[in-house]
Amino acid sequence: MIINHRVGEARSLMKDLICDEFQNVVGDLLIRHHSILDILSKLSEANCRVNRAVVKSVTDCGCMSVEATKLQIPDDINSIEELRQHMDNHLRGIMCSNCEDVIISELGKLLFYSAALCNTLNINLYDVFITEYKKASALGVYNMT
Ligand SMILES: [Zn+2]
């Protein structure tokens, strides 16, 4: 019960947490790595660590595996839904909770240094989010990148 209550509180907090607040907290915390060079290198490192965490779930933990082949799409596809059925992310298995925790943590650091970069460049993180959201919404199913 206590755990469920805390999860509920955290979800409620997340709903209330806006990008501006996150960006402000990052700005307050980031004292050591204040140079643009430090931020760029930390952002790059965070990206590498996300990739490494996913790879390690395959090569170290083994909860997931990769089975990749060239995508085979029949010529007679008539709808996006039909096309979706032929898409494959090449991942097999189910991510264990340990790997999920590590990947979430690494993604968090990626967000942290993205916000730090926005602070240094005087860009509002929420504007970045909204701009990308509008682009994705406008493109809809044609956004296949
Ligand atoms: Zn795992």
Amino acid residing at 91: L
Helix/strand number for the chain, H first, E second: 6, 2
Q: How does pLDDT run across 85-120, given as a tens digit for each residue?
A: 888 999 999 999 999 999 999 999 999 999 999 999
47 CA → ligand 1 middle, Å: 19
The alpha carbon of 67 and the centre of ligand 1 are apart by a number of angstroms equal to 17
Instruction: Tell me: pLDDT of 30 over 50.
Output: yes
pTM assigned to the model: 0.78
Give SS3 for 92. Answer: strand
What is the CA(131)–ligand 1 centre distance, in A?
A: 34
Query: 76 C-alpha to center of ligand 1: Å?
Result: 38
Query: Does residue 10 have a pLDDT over 70?
Result: no
Domains, in order of start, for the chain = 19-142 (1.10.287.1080)
Q: State what percent of residues in the chain have pLDDT above 70.
A: 83
Give the mean pLDDT of the chain: 86
Strand partners of residue 65: 92
The 10 Å Cβ neighbour count of residue 105 is: 12
Question: Looking at 9-13, 35-39, 42-46, 113-117, which range is the least confident one?
Answer: 9-13
Give me the long-range contacts of 49-55 (CB less than 8 A, separation at least 24).
49/106, 49/109, 49/110, 50/103, 50/106, 50/107, 50/110, 52/106, 53/99, 53/102, 53/103, 53/106, 54/103
CA 41 to ligand 1 center in whole angstroms: 28
State in Å: Cα 52 to ligand 1 middle.
13
CA of 108 to the centre of ligand 1 (A): 18
Give dist(CA 70, CA 21) in Å, integer: 43
